[in-house]
Amino acid sequence: MLYIRCPYCEEYRPEIEFRHAGEAHIVRPTNMAEISADEMEEFLFIRENKRGIIFERWRHIHGCGRFFNCVRDAVTDQIIMTYKSGEPKPSDAEIEKAILALKEEQA
């Protein structure tokens, strides 16, 4: 059971309070009715599924109810950071920094 920091509740909570909600930062086109078949396939089905640092959405469904985003290492399951829905995707540098901070915290 993962231990996930909810950016709205501002503390770590056990995974069973949350529901995973798929890959993050997949933007729903504003011209939905007009996109091509390729774009539709991309939007609906194509996923990064990276073996490494991933961006994902969670909902604190049995807590504050908010959707938020999470950066996690899909190989180790270490959660690197969480941030509120609508906030920009963290840059590589920000992620590096967060990883370092986590390492220091443990050491």
Partner 1 sequence: MANPTQATRKLPLDGRLAGGAGVSITPAASMSRVSLRVKDKDVKAVGKALCVALPIKPKTSNMSGDQAGASRSALWIGPDEWLILDGETADISAALAKSKAVMSVVDISHRNTAILLEGKNAVDVLRAGCPQNLNDDVFPVGACSRTILGKAEVVIWRTGAVSYHVECWRSFSGYVFKFMSQAAKGL
Partner 2 sequence: MSGLYRIAGKGRLTPAKTVAFSFDGKSYTGLEGDTLASALLANGIVLTARSFKYHRPRGTMTEGSEEPNSMVGVHRDTARQQPNVRATMQEIYDGFQAVSQNRWPSLSFDIGSINSLLSPLFVAGFYYKTFMWPRVAWEKIYEPKIRAAAGLGLSPTEQDPDHYANKFAYADLVVVGGGPAGLSAALAAAKQGVSVIVCDENAEFGGALLYENDVEIDGKSGYDWAKDIESQLAAMDNVTILPRTTAFGYYAHNMIGLCERITDHLAVPDADSPRERLWQIRAKKVIIAQGAIERHLVFANNDRPGIMMASAARSYLNKYGVAVGSKIGVYTACDSAYAAAFDLKEAGVDIPVIVDSRPDVDPMLLERARELDLTVQTGHSVIDTTGKLRISGIKVAKNGQMANTKYDVDALLISGGWTPSLHLYSQSRAKPVWDGEVKRFLPENPVQDQVSVGACAGTDDLSEVISDAQSAALAAAKSLGVKKPKKVSAPTEINSLYGHSGDHIGSSHGAGADDAVKAFVDYQHDVVANDIRLAVREGMRSIEHVKRFTTTGMATDQGKTSNLHGLAIAADGLGKEIPQVGLTTFRSPFTPVSFGTIVNHGAGDLFDPVRRTPMHDWAVAQGAVFEDVGQWKRGWYFPQAGEDMHASVNRECKTVRESAGVFDASTLGKIEVVGPDAAKFLDIIYTNAWSTLKVGRCRYGIMTHEDGFIFDDGVVGRLAEDRFHVTTTTGGAAGVLNHMEDYLQTEFPELDVWLTSVSEQWGVIAVQGPKARDIIAPLVEGIDLSTESMPHMSVREGTICGVPTRLFRMSFTGEMGYEINVPADYAESVLEAVWANAQKYGACAYGTEAMHVLRAEKGYIIVGQETDGSITPHDAGLSWAVSKKKTDFVGIRGLMRDDLVAEGRKQLVGLKTKDPKVVLEEGAQIVADPNQPIPMKMLGHVTSSYWSENCGHSIALAIVEGGRSKMGDALYVPMIDRTIEVEVVDTVFVDQDGGRLNG
Partner 3 sequence: MRKYSIFALAREAMRQHKGWEEQWGSPEPKSSYDVIIIGAGGHGLGTAYYLAKEHGIRNIAVLEKSWLGGGNTGRNTTVIRSNYLYDESAGLYNHALNMWDNLSQDINYNVMYSARGVMMVAHNVHDVQVLKRHVHANRLNGVQNEWLSPQEAKEFCPPLNISKSCRYPIMGAALQRKGGTARHDAVAWGYARAASDLGVDIIQNCEVTGIRRAADGSVAGVETGKGFIGAKKVGVVAAGNTSHIMQMADVRMPLESFPLQALVSEPLKPIFPCVVMSNSVHTYISQSDKGELVIGAGTDQYTSYAPNGSLHITNHNLEAICELFPIFSRVKMMRTWAGTVDVTPDRSPILAKTPVKGLYVNCGWGTGGFKATPGSAHVFAHTIANDAPHKINEFFTLERFKTGRLVDESAAAAVAH
**Residues near partner 3, by CB under 8 A:** 1-2, 15-16, 19-20, 22-23, 37-38, 40-42, 44-51, 54, 56, 72, 74-77
Q: Which stretch binds partner 2 (CB under 8 A): 46-54, 55-63, 90-98?
A: 55-63
Q: How far apart are the first and last CA of the chain?
A: 23
Q: Which residue from 2, 5, 9, 26 is in contact with partner 1, where contact means CB under 8 A?
A: 9
- If one asks whether residue 62 binds partner 1 (CB under 8 A), the answer comes out as yes
* 64 binding partner (options partner 1, partner 2, partner 3, none; Cβ < 5 to 8 Å by kind): partner 1
- If one asks whether residue 38 binds partner 2 (CB under 8 A), the answer comes out as no
Instruction: Determine how many CB atoms are found less than 10 A away from the CB of residue 74.
Output: 14
